Amino acid sequence: MITLNVDLGARSYPVLIGTGLLAQAEHYPPAVSRGRCLIVTNDVVAPLYLARVQQALGADRHEALVLADGEAHKTLDTANHIYDRLLQARFGRDCALVALGGGVIGDLTGFAAATYQRGVDFIQIPTTLLAQVDSSVGGKTGVNHPLGKNMIGAFHQPRAVIADTDCLKTLPAREFAAGLAEVIKYGLLGDAPFFDWLEQNMDALLQHGDKFLAEAIRRSCANKARIVALDERESGPRALLNLGHSFGHAIETTLGYGVWLHGEAVAAGICMAADLSRRLGWLTPTEQNRIVRLMERAGLPTRLPPHVSAQQLLEAMALDKKVTAGHLRLVLLKGIGGAVVTKDFSAAQLNATLAHYCREGKA
């Protein structure tokens, strides 16, 4: 087992990475032993892993809530189902929520924990690669609004993250590839040697090689933990973690939540950020091609569906959380491993990238 630490003073917590962790009670933090626990999961994950978590927590100390699967259910209405269960069963402020699932379950459960009785403990048990390397770490919680992704939320750190790599063995290939988009992101935003490593070992990752998976998760989580420790609430360098996300969230909003997986939209978004970076002279054509090729090798989309228009994306991007004083800021690349948050691009340059990617869906 690998143990990392997210260093946030009194709110620091461990990230545990290894095999067979779900059923091992000793890995669960004290937060889940003080009061009752509500395990929140979905109808895909529950048949696979719920029994193991129940065994670890003890049959008399927990209840389980099984929600419908999918990004389309990451809403305030679904969060209300969690509140209903907590209130009906009279869960007190000493309770803990356990998020067992991918990014949607983690975000929903964390948001409910942040807001139930003004904040209760929760732990993350991510079961997808995307959640293990990204969304479970850092304390971002929230739900979607029809007009924008993750527009309603709160910062609320978990008490622990338990990433059992055995869960990835049952992950569909499309879900696994979606997680690789976030892994690749960490190589681009500040760890060029990791990007090189991914180019050399992508085939082994796609074959689910244990040591390669553990290294990819460790490296990704270490990069995120370092940035979160510097900037918990995204007032500075943490915004770099949004590489590809302004474009990606606009794609998700335009297509409809759940049509593309989050990681698929981020992959295309990173390719669009690379294209704009090249137009600014910050990224060479060779570097741009390396990024696109690695996404393609991972089985990720690098083009948009033909019916998506540049105007639709631009309207969705106008609601991005990085819009300040009416100006959109984007995370772009000054070379591989050199991400920056910037508004130093013209409307014409941004429109050229949007038009290029929206022209018959070809990049």
pTM over 0.85: yes
- CA neighbours within 13 Å on the CB side: how many for 158? 32
Residue 93 has pLDDT above 60, yes or no: yes
Q: Among residues 175, 215, 234, 264, which one is catalytic?
A: 234
Give the pLDDT mean for 76-92. Answer: 97
Helix (H, G, I), strand (E, B), or coil: what is residue 32?
helix
- Rounded Cα–Cα distance for residues 159 and 192 (Å): 31
Q: What percent of the chain has pLDDT over 90?
A: 87
Give the pLDDT mean for 52-67. Answer: 89
Tell me what the pLDDT averaged over the chain comes to: 94
Q: Kindly indicate the confidence band of residue 59, based on its pLDDT and cuts at 50, 70 and 90.
A: low
Q: Among residues 182, 232, 264, 287, which one is catalytic?
A: 182
Residue 154 has pLDDT above 90, yes or no: yes
- Rounded Cα–Cα distance for residues 185 and 246 (Å): 14
**351 a catalytic residue:** no
- Helix (H) or strand (E) holding 234, with range, is none
Of 136-140, 198-202, 208-212, 217-221, which range is least confident? 208-212
- Rounded Cα–Cα distance for residues 349 and 340 (Å): 17
Question: What stretch(es) of the chain map to CATH 3.40.50.1970?
Answer: 2-170
Question: What stretch(es) of the chain map to CATH 1.20.1090.10?
Answer: 173-358
**118 a catalytic residue:** yes
Give the pLDDT mean for 283-310. Answer: 96
Q: Among residues 159, 242, 290, 329, which one is catalytic?
A: 242
Give the pLDDT mean for 174-203. Answer: 97
- Rounded Cα–Cα distance for residues 259 and 45 (Å): 20
- Rounded Cα–Cα distance for residues 78 and 126 (Å): 19
CB 99 within 8 A of CB 159: no
Q: Kindly indicate the confidence band of residue 325, based on its pLDDT and cuts at 50, 70 and 90.
A: low
**262 a catalytic residue:** yes
Residue 316 has pLDDT above 70, yes or no: yes
**34 a catalytic residue:** no
The highest-level CATH class for domain 2-170 is alpha beta
**249 a catalytic residue:** yes
Beta strands in 129-272 (DSSP E): 140-145, 148-155, 161-164
Q: Among residues 62, 149, 219, 238, which one is catalytic?
A: 238
Q: Among residues 74, 140, 156, 159, which one is catalytic?
A: 140
**238 a catalytic residue:** yes
**156 a catalytic residue:** no
- Rounded Cα–Cα distance for residues 105 and 67 (Å): 9
Please report, for residues 85, 298, 359, 362, the alpha-carbon distance to residue 307 in angstroms, rounded to integers and kept in the order given. 41, 24, 9, 11
Q: Kindly indicate the confidence band of residue 111, based on its pLDDT and cuts at 50, 70 and 90.
A: very high
Reported as a single tens digit per residue, the pLDDT across 243-273 is 999 999 999 999 999 999 999 999 999 999 9
Q: Among residues 36, 185, 224, 279, which one is catalytic?
A: 224
**245 a catalytic residue:** yes
Helix (H, G, I), strand (E, B), or coil: what is residue 21?
coil
Q: What is the pLDDT of residue 3?
A: 95
173-358, CATH topology level: Dehydroquinate synthase-like, alpha domain (1.20.1090)
Reported as a single tens digit per residue, the pLDDT across 13-56 is 999 999 999 999 899 988 777 789 999 999 999 999 999 999 99
Q: Among residues 118, 211, 327, 360, which one is catalytic?
A: 118
CB 228 within 8 A of CB 238: yes
